[in-house]
Amino acid sequence: MRNDKSVLVLDAHWRVTNVTTPKKALVDMAKNTATAVLVKGKDHVEPISWEQWILLPVENGEECVHTAHTKILMPKVIIMVNFKRAKSISRTPKLRPNEVRKAYGGRCAYTGELVGKEGTIDHVHPRSRGGANSWDNVVWSSREVNFKKGARTPEEAGLQLKTPIKKVRAKPMGTDLELRDDRPEWRLFVN
């Protein structure tokens, strides 16, 4: 059984909350805290209880779990039965190099040059001088420019931001999930 996070989790209102592992999804289904969603094509979406799910036939090529007596189809989407959340739960992306690089399109905020993964996070107002470790104080920078700037402000280092600091806003949960080629069932639920 694959143990990656390949099962989409919905709340009781069928809104995306997160993803989970197949093992956890099957455990939640067996405990009746989750219901599987069977998606066949674009028109057939059906919630199915654990008792019904374990009786579904497994066709060739479908992901499944082998037990001593049978095969159990691997769910791709589940609904947490009693989980009702507020209308909109938002989350600001974590301040990680990958996220900052994406926000700046891999370009150095000082030179405008494409540096991709070779860049680094730069704190515009240096942390050593009281600058915050937050989205409103970081940019993506080439390593050379960041080294030249050091613990100085851009003005003190003779630099100017060509790209303003990105205003990263909180996004509703589920909108940052990437659609996976091996999970076409997710398209019905992920924005």
CATH number at residue 99: 1.10.30.50
Residue 137 pLDDT class (50, 70, 90 cuts): very high
- Per-residue pLDDT, 2: 46
Structure tokens at 135: 């989205």
Same domain, yes or no: 74 and 113: no
Q: Is residue 156 part of a domain?
A: no
Percent of the chain with pLDDT over 90: 54
Same domain, yes or no: 28 and 16: yes
Q: Contact at 8 Å (CB) between 72 and 23?
A: no
Same domain, yes or no: 11 and 85: yes
Angle at 124 between CA 92 and CA 143, to 5 degrees: 100
Q: Is residue 157 part of a domain?
A: no
75-117 pLDDT, tens digit per residue, is: 999 999 887 654 455 567 788 999 899 999 999 999 999 999 9
Work out the average pLDDT over 129-148.
94
Q: Is residue 1 part of a domain?
A: no
Please state, rounded to an integer, the average pLDDT across all residues of the chain: 86
Pairing of strands 34-40, 44-48: antiparallel
Same domain, yes or no: 111 and 70: no
176-190 pLDDT, tens digit per residue, is: 566 677 788 887 877
Highest mean pLDDT among 1-5, 7-11, 152-156, 165-169 belongs to 152-156
pTM above the 0.85 mark?
A: no
- Per-residue pLDDT, 83: 72
Nearest residue to 20 via CA among 33, 31, 30, 10: 10
How many domains is the chain partitioned into structurally?
2
17-71 pLDDT, tens digit per residue, is: 888 899 999 999 999 999 999 988 777 899 999 999 999 999 888 888 888 989 9
Same domain, yes or no: 79 and 110: no
Work out the average pLDDT over 128-148.
94
Predicted confidence (pLDDT) at residue 143 exceeds the cutoff of 60: yes
Q: Which residues of 123-156 are buried (b: 16+ CB within 10 A; e: fewer)?
A: bbebeeeeeeeebebbbbbbeebbeebeeeebee
**Structural domain boundaries, residue 27:** 7-89+173-188
Residue 1 pLDDT class (50, 70, 90 cuts): very low
5 vs 1, residue with greater confidence? 5
